[in-house]
């Protein structure tokens, strides 16, 4: 069993699509074992995305992530990191496969509906950013 950190981004909460995305997650076999709706401050968004701070899109990305509530989640399942990346689809929704969350819901490469950890190591770091062990009920 593996865990990964998922974020439903502000374009999802704005359009009232939290349940629609959760249905896709659960139908894929992943279990939502922790979930929290919150609004990030700019400082928190910059800290969460610090690995991207040299990228041209960093400022716009952090600003977008503060435009509305997000839903942070811990997902559990076999190969959860890789599986969730398949369920999400490619970062750019124009390249995302049919049936993926980003193909179905994303508005643009920035407003691309969901984030998922890219490795088990980052999953542990990102889960600890939002949740304590007490919040996670497997």
Q: Quick check: 100 binds ligand CMP (CB under 6 A)? A: no
Helices (runs of H) and strands (runs of E) counted in the chain: 7, 4
**Phi, psi of 28, deg, nearest 5:** -75, -10
Catalytic residue among 6, 87, 115, 126: 115
- Contact window for ligand CMP (CB under 6 A) among 35-43, 79-87, 93-101, 109-117: 109-117
30 CB-near residues (< 8 Å, 6+ apart): 75, 76, 77, 80, 83, 84, 87
The 40-59 contact track toward ligand CMP, x by CB under 6 A, reads: ------------x----x--
- Contact window for ligand CMP (CB under 6 A) among 24-32, 35-43, 106-114, 125-133: 106-114
Q: Quick check: 115 binds ligand CMP (CB under 6 A)? A: yes
Measured from the Cβ of residue 106, the count of other Cβ atoms closer than 10 Å reads 25
Q: Quick check: 2 binds ligand CMP (CB under 6 A)? A: no
Q: Which of 17, 20, 82, 109 binds ligand CMP (CB under 6 A)?
A: 109
Catalytic residue check, 115: yes
Which residues, in sequence order, are bridge partners of residue 5? 74
In angstroms, the CA 23 to CA 77 distance is 15
Site residues (CB under 6 A) for ligand CMP? 52, 57, 61, 91, 109-110, 112, 115
């Amino acid at each position: 069993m593996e865990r990964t950190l998922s974020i439903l981004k502000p374009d999802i909460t704005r359009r009232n699509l939290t349940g629609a995305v959760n249905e896709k997650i659960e139908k894929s076999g992943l279990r939502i074992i922790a979930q929290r709706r919150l609004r990030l401050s700019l400082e928190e968004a910059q800290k969460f995305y610090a690995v991207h701070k040299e990228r041209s899109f960093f400022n716009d990305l952090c600003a977008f992530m503060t435009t509305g509530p997000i839903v942070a989640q811990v997902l559990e399942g076999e190969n959860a990191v890789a599986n969730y990346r398949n369920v999400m689809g490619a970062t750019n929704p124009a390249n995302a496969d049919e049936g993926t969350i980003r193909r179905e819901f994303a508005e643009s490469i920035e407003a691309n509906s969901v984030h998922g950890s890219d490795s088990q190591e980052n999953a542990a770091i990102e889960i600890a950013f939002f949740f304590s062990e007490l919040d996670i009920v497997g």
